[in-house]
Each structure stands twice: as structure tokens, then as C-alpha cells.
């Protein structure tokens, strides 16, 4: 009959969601599918929520098993996203490469490069001519230091942008029965804290930098005392901290 078909459809749909959930969460490259899983989690939990709320109409009966499965899956998703986030961070950092050395095409030049190999749309390049009186090792160390700071800046900006998507996981409590109005809540300060920086003439903006920028460590302007070495934004339900770090 029609009601039996309705029940079969819902059961099959829930089983398909569970199969997809297991395949992705146990995949060896699961860290690359975090965005997919965030979107999918809302669809999956919505289906389980509907099955629990409308089980009388769907199955012509009432039991606690559907509520139990919903609650278990909410907890599973919340735990999964907390666990996968630092793994995603490490993976994303590894996609940003730095390279410093003697230019193989122009042996008289020292080059430094930072490249986001995942998108290939962002890079910073430095080049400095080698002079006979130069301390080459000192210059190489200086380039390495600057390129490392640029990599940190790249990553911090990428992570902050990713948080626009990840922060939706703070709202999974809305799927609890009778908690549809529950406000989003970050589970802990580790995922509620976003860093930006380091910013300065030596690290910002993207593109090709003049060698003089290397010599102007951190400086953003000529008319302000101190220089910003980092910006920290901390969010826990509401924005409650904005900290600037300076170098004297």
C-alpha cells in the first residue's frame, strides 16, 4: 500500500545516507571532504529528524529507536567535525610550499617563493641580486624567515575563509528535538579562535616584492609607532576578543 511504500522510501533514504557517511568518514583522504560532509550532515540529520517527528504518518507506529538514532548521529557528527578540523589544518598547511635558494637561471640572484599549490592562484615572490660583498648565507636565512611568515599569513587567511563554512557545524544542536531555536555554539576555544597575520611590507600583499620590502620587516607605514605582527580574533558564540600583537 501507499503507506508501506512511504516507509520503505524513508528507510532506504536513511540507509543510503548512513552508507555515504561511513564511506566518507572512513576514507583515507577524508580530510579533503570536510566541506562535503558539512553540507551532507545537514541533509542527513534533516532526514533522521523528519523520520523521528513524522514516524506516525510514515510507519503508522511510534518508537524510541528513531529518536535514539537521531541523537547518536548528532553526537557522531559533532565529534567527527571536532576531530577532523586540526587534521584539515595540517593538510592545508602542507599545500603551501616555500622555496628559497640561488636562482638556477641567474646564478647571481637569490630567490624566495611561496605558492599555494592547491589553488595555484596565490603566490609571493622575492628576488635579490647577489653582490660580491654580500653575506649569501645571511640573505638566504632572511629570505627563509620572510617566506615562512608569508606561508603563515597564507594559511591564516585560508583558515579564516574556511571558517565561513566550518562554523555551520556549530548549529547541529538545532536538530535535537525541541531545540530548533538553539543558537549556534562553538564546541571549544580551539575551533572558535581564528588568527590573521603576519602583515608587513615584507609579507604583504601577494605578488612580486622588491628586495627593499625584505629589509622593511613588519613595517606597515611610516607615520605610526610600532608594527603589527599578528591579529587574533576569538569567537565563542559572540565575538569576544580582538587582539593585535606589535613588535617594538
Residues 84 and 135 in one domain: no
Tens digit of pLDDT for each residue in 147-190? 999 999 999 999 999 999 999 999 999 999 988 888 888 888 88
Contacts 24+ apart (CB under 8 A), 32-41: 32/91, 34/81, 34/84, 34/85, 34/88, 34/166, 35/165, 37/80, 37/81, 37/84, 38/81, 38/165, 38/166, 38/168, 38/169, 41/77, 41/81, 41/169, 41/172
pTM: 0.82
Mean pLDDT of the chain: 85
Residues 115 and 89 occupy one common structural domain: no
d(CA 142, CA 154): 18
Task: Provide the 8-state DSSP code for 171.
Answer: G
CA distances from 234 to 81, 138, 193, 194 (A): 19, 37, 4, 6
* 72 and 103 co-located in one domain: no
Asked if residue 199 and residue 156 are part of one domain, the reply reads yes
Give residue 212's pLDDT band: very low, low, confident or very high (50, 70, 90).
Answer: confident
In this structure, are 70 and 172 located in the same domain?
no
Residues 86 and 141 in one domain: no
Same domain, 66 and 186: no
* 128, 204: one domain: yes
Q: What is the pLDDT of residue 3?
A: 64
Of 41, 65, 93, the residue at which a domain comes to its end is 93
* pLDDT: which is higher, 213 or 242: 213
Pair 85, 205 in one domain? no
Q: Determine the structural domain holding residue 138 and report its residue range.
A: 95-247
Last residue of a domain, one of 93, 108, 125: 93
- For residues 62 and 160, membership in a common domain is answered with no
The answer on 137 and 74 residing in a single domain is no
**pLDDT exceeds cutoff 80 at 241:** no
Counting the structural domains of the chain, the total is: 2
pLDDT over 80 at 78, yes or no: yes
Residue where a domain terminates, one of 47, 62, 93: 93
At residue 189, the pLDDT reads 80
Same domain for 145 and 235, yes or no, is: yes
Amino acid at each position: 500500500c501507499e503507506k508501506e511504500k512511504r516507509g520503505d522510501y524513508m528507510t532506504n533514504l536513511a540507509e543510503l545516507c548512513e552508507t555515504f557517511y561511513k564511506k566518507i568518514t572512513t576514507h583515507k583522504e577524508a580530510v579533503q571532504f570536510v566541506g562535503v560532509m558539512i553540507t551532507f550532515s545537514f541533509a542527513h540529520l534533516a532526514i533522521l529528524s523528519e523520520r523521528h517527528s513524522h514516524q506516525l504518518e510514515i510507519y503508522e507506529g511510534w518508537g524510541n529507536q528513531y529518536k535514539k538514532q537521531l541523537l547518536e548521529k548528532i553526537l557522531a557528527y559533532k565529534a567527527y567535525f571536532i576531530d577532523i578540523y586540526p587534521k584539515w589544518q595540517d593538510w592545508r598547511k602542507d599545500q603551501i610550499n616555500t622555496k628559497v635558494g640561488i636562482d638556477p637561471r641567474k646564478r647571481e640572484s637569490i630567490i624566495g617563493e611561496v605558492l599555494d599549490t592547491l589553488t595555484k592562484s596565490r603566490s609571493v615572490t622575492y628576488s635579490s641580486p647577489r653582490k660580491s660583498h654580500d653575506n649569501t648565507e645571511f640573505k638566504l636565512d632572511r629570505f627563509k624567515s620572510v617566506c615562512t611568515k608569508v606561508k603563515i599569513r597564507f594559511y591564516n587567511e585560508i583558515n579564516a575563509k574556511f571558517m565561513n563554512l566550518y562554523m555551520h557545524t556549530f548549529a547541529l544542536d538545532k536538530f535535537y528535538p525541541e531545540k530548533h531555536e538553539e543558537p549556534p555554539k562553538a564546541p571549544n576555544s580551539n575551533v572558535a579562535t581564528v588568527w590573521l597575520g603576519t602583515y608587513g611590507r615584507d609579507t604583504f600583499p601577494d605578488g612580486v616584492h622588491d628586495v627593499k620590502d625584505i629589509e622593511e620587516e613588519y613595517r606597515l607605514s611610516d607615520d605610526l609607532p610600532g608594527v603589527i605582527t599578528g591579529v587574533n580574533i576569538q569567537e565563542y558564540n559572540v565575538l569576544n576578543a580582538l587582539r593585535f600583537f606589535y613588535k617594538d
